[in-house]
A and B are shown apart, each in its own frame.
Chain A
Amino acid sequence: MTTQPAPDQPRARALRIYRWVLRLYPAAHRRDFGEPMLQTFGDCYHDAVEREGMSEAQFWLGVLTDESRSLIREHLATLSTVTERIRSMDKLLSAVAKRPVSTVAALLLWVVVLDLLSQSIPSADAIAGSWLFFWLAATVIYGGVLLLVARFAQSLPFPAGESSWRGSWWRLGLVLGGILGIYMVALTAVNVLIPVLAFRQNVGRVLLSLPFTSGPGMVWAISLPLLAGTAGIIGAHAGGKVRIGMAVGALAGTIMMATQTAIVGLLVLLSIALYHTAPPPVYFNGAQLPMLYPAFLDLSYVGQYLVNGASQASLPFGLIFQWIFAIIVWLVPLVVGSVLGVRTVRQTDTAAVAARHGWVGRLFARPIRFAGLALLLIILGPVLWLCSSLGQSGINTYGNPFAVLAFASASYVIAGLLIWLLAVLASVVAISVTTLARRSRPPGASAAPAQ
C-alpha cells in the first residue's frame, strides 16, 4: 500500500487536506511525527474508504473528531512547557508583589517624568540650543530601563536556539501583546480618570495642574521605541534569531495598536453618550475646566501632532496617523532590539572577557555585554524627541499630513544615521582601550579571576 498515489485520485486529495491539518500542530510535533502521521493517515484512508467502502463523510467525521482532541492536547502540552520556563519570572513578580507601593510609585513617577519631558521638548527652532538636554535626558531614561530589561532577559533560563521556542514566536507575541494592551488600558485610565476624579471631588486644582492632563498621547508616543526595543530583545533572546524577535515584536505591536484603537472607539462612544445626556459645564468655580470631555476623550493626540497641531483633525484621521506613526517609530528600534536580543545571548560569558583583558577587561566586562544595548539607547531617545519636536514645532506644512509625515520620517532616518556613526566611534575607542590593555600585560601574567 502506497501513500503517494497519482494526484488525481481521491486519496491524493485526502492526503492534501490532511497535510493542511498537520500544519495546525505545534512545530516540534509536526517535525517529529508529521511524515509518519501522513503515512498512517494514508493507510487508514486506503483501508477504510477504498477497501471497506466507508463513506468519505463518515471517515472525515472520525478524523476531525480525533484530530481536534489531539490538537488541543498537543498545544496544551507545549504551553505547559512554556509555562514552566515563564515560572522563572516568578522571582520578579513576587518581588513586585511584595512592594506594591514602591511599584505603583515607580510607575506613576515614570509616567510623570515622561510627560514632563514631553512638555519640555524644545521647538524645532530652538532645538539647536538644546542638544545637551536633548541627548542626555533621553539616553539616561531609556538607558536605565532597557539595561534592566536586558539584565533580566539574561537571567532567563532558556538558551538561544531551542527549537520549542523557535516555533512559538506567536505565543511570545501574544503574551507581550497582552501586556502591552494592558499597558494601553492602564495609561488611558490614568489619564482619563485623574482629571475627572479631581474635578468631582474638588480635591484637585493641584491634580488638575499635573501633567496628566496633557493626555496619554505623548507618554504613549515616547514609550513606543522603548517597548519596541524590549519586545525585540525578549523575542530574539528567546528564539535566538533576529527574525523571531521581529515577528514577536510585530505581533505584539499590532495587538497593542488594536487595543489602542478599540479604547479610543469606546471612549468616543462614551463621550457622545455623556454629551447627549448631560452636557458638560465649561467653567467650575470661575475657572475654565481643562481638557474635560469631549476634548480630553479624544485621544488622537499623536495624529493631531502630526497634522501640525490641528485639533480639528477628525478622529478617523487621527487614528490612521497613530498607526502610521507607530509603524515608523516601532520598526527601527524593533530591528535593533532584535539584533541586541541575540547579542545578549552571545555575550553572556563575561568571565572569559574579563580573563582575556585583565583589569580593564573586568572593568569593561559588563559594559561590553551591554554595548549593543547602549547603542540602542543612544539611538532611541533623541530620534523620538526629534520626531515629536517636529510634530509640535509648528513647521508650516500648510496642513498637508504627508508633508508632516515626510518631515518626521526624514528626521528619524537622519538622526539615526548620525547617532549610529557616533556609537561606532565610541565602540572603536572602547575596543582600542581593551586591546591596548591586553598588550600592555606582561607575558606570562596570570589571567584575572572570573567574576
Chain B
Amino acid sequence: MKTDQPQIPLTPAVFYILLALAGGDRHGYQIMKQVQHDSQGQVTMGTGTLYGSIKRMLADGLIAEADERPDPALDDERRRYYRLTDRGRETLAAELQRYDEVVAIARQRRLLPGFSVEPGR
C-alpha cells in the first residue's frame, strides 16, 4: 500500500535496484548486472529475486515501466524497461541521506577504517 512518506530503510535489493535505475532506464538483466557492479559483487540476485522485488516496487510506485526504449533498433521488442518514478527518486534520496547521516556519525565516533590515523580529516 502506498504511503506519502518514503518507506526507509530499504532492503539491499530495493536500494540497489533504485540505484541502478538512477542512471537511466534498464531492462531486467541490465539491472541485475548493474546491481552486481555497484555492490562490487556483494549483492547478487537471481531472476526470481529480481522480479519479485520489481513486482513489489511497481506496486509501491517506486519504479514504472518505461514508455520509451533506449535504442529500439538494437533491442528485442519484448524486453521490458523500467524507470525510476518521482517517488522512487525521493525514496532513494532519503535513503542516501540516511546513509550520509550514519557515515557522519561514524566519522564523529572515529569508527571508519583508517579514520583514526588521519584525525581532523
A74 CA / B54 CA spacing, docked (Å): 12
- Inter-subunit contact B52/A63 (CB<8 Å): no
Residues of B within 8 A of A3 (CB): 76
Q: Is the CB of B48 within 8 A of A66?
A: yes
Is B99 positioned at the interface, with any CB of A under 8 Å from its CB? no
Residues of A within 8 A of B6 (CB): none
Contact in complex: B28, A36 (CB < 8 Å): yes
A8 at the interface (CB under 8 A from B): no
- A23-71 with Cβ < 8 A to chain B: 29, 32-33, 35-37, 39-41, 43-44, 62-63, 65-67, 69-71
Is there contact, CB below 8 Å, between A40 and B49? no
Instruction: Say whether A70 contacts B48, CB under 8 Å.
Output: yes
Contacts A33-B55, A36-B79 given; indicate if A44 touches B49 (C-beta within 8 A): no
Dominant SS among interface residues on chain A: helix
0/1 interface trace, chain B 66-84, chain A, CB 8 Å (1 if under): 0000000000101110000
Residues of B with C-beta under 8 A to A73: 52
Total interface residues in chain B, CB < 8 Å: 18
Q: Is B27 an interface residue (CB 8 A)?
A: yes
In the bound complex, CA of A157 to CA of B78 (Å): 36
Contact A33-B29, Cβ < 8 Å, known A66-B45, A66-B47, A67-B48: no
Name the residue on A nearest B33 (C-beta).
A47
Minimum distance in angstroms from B36 CB to a CB of chain A: 11
Contact of B32 among A33, A40, A69, A70 (CB under 8 A): A40
A43 contacts B29, C-beta separation under 8 Å? yes
> Once the chains bind, are B52 and A40 in contact (CB under 8 Å)?
no
Contact B55 A40 (CB under 8 A): no
Closest CB-CB distance, B121 to chain A, in whole Å?
40
How many residue pairs bridge A and B at CB < 8 Å? 60
| Residue contact A39 to B28, C-beta cutoff 8 Å | yes
In the complex the two chains form, what is the Cα distance from A44 to B80 in whole Å?
A: 16
Is B32 in contact with A44, judged by CB distance below 8 angstroms? yes
Pair A63/B27 contact, Cβ less than 8 Å? no
Report the nearest B residue to A35, measured CB to CB.
B78
Find out whether the CB atom of A39 lies under 8 angstroms from the CB atom of B29. yes
Q: With the chains together, A63 CA to B47 CA distance in Å?
A: 8
- Contact, CB under 8 Å: B51 / A37: yes
Interface members, chain B 46-70 (any A CB < 8 Å): 46-52, 54-55
Q: Are B47 and A44 in contact (CB under 8 A)?
A: yes
The verdict on A70 contacting B29 (CB below 8 Å), with A39-B76, A39-B78 known, is: no
Point out the residue from A2, A35, A36, A63 that lies within 8 Å of B46, measured CB to CB.
A63
CA distance A311 to B94 in the complex (A): 78
How close is B54's CB to chain A, nearest CB, in angstroms?
7
The answer to whether B46 touches A62, judged by C-beta atoms less than 8 angstroms apart, is yes
Distance in Å from the Cβ of B45 to the closest Cβ of chain A?
7
Q: Which residue of A lies closest to B32 (CB)?
A: A40
**Considering the chains assembled together, what is the distance between the CA atoms of A2 and B76 in angstroms?**
8
List A residues 347-387 near B (Cβ within 8 Å): none
State whether A67 touches B28 (Cβ < 8 A).
no
Chain A residues lying within 8 Å of B80, measured Cβ to Cβ, are: 36
- Contacts A36-B80, A63-B46 given; indicate if A74 touches B29 (C-beta within 8 A): no
Q: Judging by beta carbons under 8 Å apart, are B55 and A66 in contact?
A: no
Q: Contact check: which of A2, A36, A69 meets B51 at CB < 8 Å?
A: A36
Are A70 and B49 in contact, CB atoms less than 8 angstroms apart? yes
Measured between beta carbons, the chain A residues less than 8 angstroms from B47 are 37, 40-41, 44, 63, 66-67
> Most chain-A CB neighbours within 10 Å: which of B27, B48, B49, B51?
B48
Question: A32 touching B55 by the CB < 8 A rule?
Answer: yes
Which residues does chain A contribute within 8 Å of B52, judged by CB atoms?
A: 70, 73-74
CB neighbours of A2 from chain B (8 A): 76
Closest to B52 in A: A70
Judging by beta carbons under 8 Å apart, are A71 and B55 in contact?
no
Tell me the nearest residue of chain B to A43, going by C-beta: B29
Write out the residue numbers on chain A whose beta carbons fall within 8 Å of the beta carbon of B29.
Answer: 39-40, 43-44
- Shortest distance between the CB of A44 and any CB in chain B (Å): 7
Of the candidates A32, A35, A39, A71, the one whose C-beta lies within 8 Å of that of B48 is A71
Closest beta carbon of chain A to B46's beta carbon, Å: 3
Bound complex: CA A62 to CA B45 (Å): 10
**What's the Cα separation between A74 and B79 when bound, in Å?**
22
CA A63 – CA B44 in complex, angstroms?
A: 11
Q: List residues of chain A with CB within 8 A of the CB of B79.
A: 36, 39
A403 to B78, CA, bound (A): 61
Which of B27, B45, B54, B76 contacts A33 (CB under 8 A)? B54
Min C-beta distance of B58 to chain A, whole Å: 9
- Is B49 a contact partner of A66 (Cβ separation < 8 A)? yes
Which 3 pairs, one residue from A and one from B, show the smallest C-beta to C-beta distance?
Answer: A66-B46, A70-B48, A43-B29
Other than the known A37-B28, A39-B79, A74-B48, what 19 A-B pairs have Cβ atoms closer than 8 Å? A29-B51, A29-B55, A33-B51, A35-B78, A36-B27, A36-B28, A39-B28, A39-B76, A40-B50, A62-B46, A63-B47, A65-B46, A66-B45, A66-B47, A67-B47, A67-B48, A70-B51, A70-B52, A74-B52
| A to B CB contacts below 8 Å, 8 in the list | A3-B76, A36-B79, A40-B32, A65-B46, A69-B48, A70-B48, A73-B52, A74-B52
